[in-house]
Amino acid sequence: LQMVGNAIIHCATLGGLGWLMSRWLEKRYCMLLWLPLTLVLTLPFGWENSLAGFQSQFYFLVLFSLLTLWLLGLYPPKSARWWCGAATAIMALFTVASGFLAAATVFALVMFRVTNRPQTWRQQAPTLTLCGAIVVAGILLKADVKHHHLLQSHSVAEFLTALGANLAWPWIVVPPFAILNLLPLAALAWFVLRGREDEHPAEEMTLAIGLWVVLQGLATAFARGAEGKPPGWRYMDSSSFILIADCFSIAVLLS
């Protein structure tokens, strides 16, 4: 029963993401949206989460984080959908320790907007304040489990190797592949940073997903990067979003 419940959560989450992005992009690029989502749903790399009903927290992490990026990041402060995004950002705190990174991503996204249009800082202040408070709360709520210290990275080399393995997904055994893996996202970021004043929701959502998965990779590399190990199976449902963000980036660039 728990496994079926988890499957429903995961399928509904990624199906909803595909539906959302397909509203913003031309139909001829739908393959670049649905193919990666289908692959990450059907391939059994996240078997630990699939087989253990207790692992629903990883599916809720993805669900609440994506809702936060969309509702809190893309809608005007104090609107109805913005308040829903504020609620999901708080809910994300009670999934796993890195749940606050969705709010951190929205904070970075809004700061980018304010940098491009300084006159909007007053309008964006509620979002920045809320996200800052959630990030602080997430850090303060993190429990210190002493026997987990052995799982953390103990040197810069271990951290960088583990980070590369996280961002090289699915080729996690070759950490340097992370550089190539990030190229589509980097190309989209360069395109957006060229100085255009208007933002497209598909661009912003894709960049937000990309930044979120990079932050998740940083957190995993620090907390579970002993000996430069690649991510465990249970963390790959988050790591797989590097593939999704890359394909979304290509679709946005082509359109």
Q: pLDDT value at position 195?
A: 63
Tens of pLDDT, residue by residue over 92-144, are: 999 999 999 999 999 999 998 888 788 888 899 999 999 999 999 999 998 88
Q: What is the mean pLDDT of residues 135-162?
A: 93
Q: pLDDT value at position 96?
A: 93
Tens of pLDDT, residue by residue over 48-57, are: 999 988 889 9
Q: What is the mean pLDDT of residues 13-23?
A: 96
Using the predicted structure, report yes or no on whether residue 197 has a pLDDT greater than 70.
no
Say which range, 77-91, 156-170, 195-209, has the weakest mean pLDDT: 195-209
CA angle (164, 35, 202) in 5-degree steps: 80
Using the predicted structure, report yes or no on whether residue 236 has a pLDDT greater than 80.
yes
Using the predicted structure, report yes or no on whether residue 74 has a pLDDT greater than 80.
yes
Q: pLDDT value at position 196?
A: 61
Quick check: pTM over 0.85?
yes
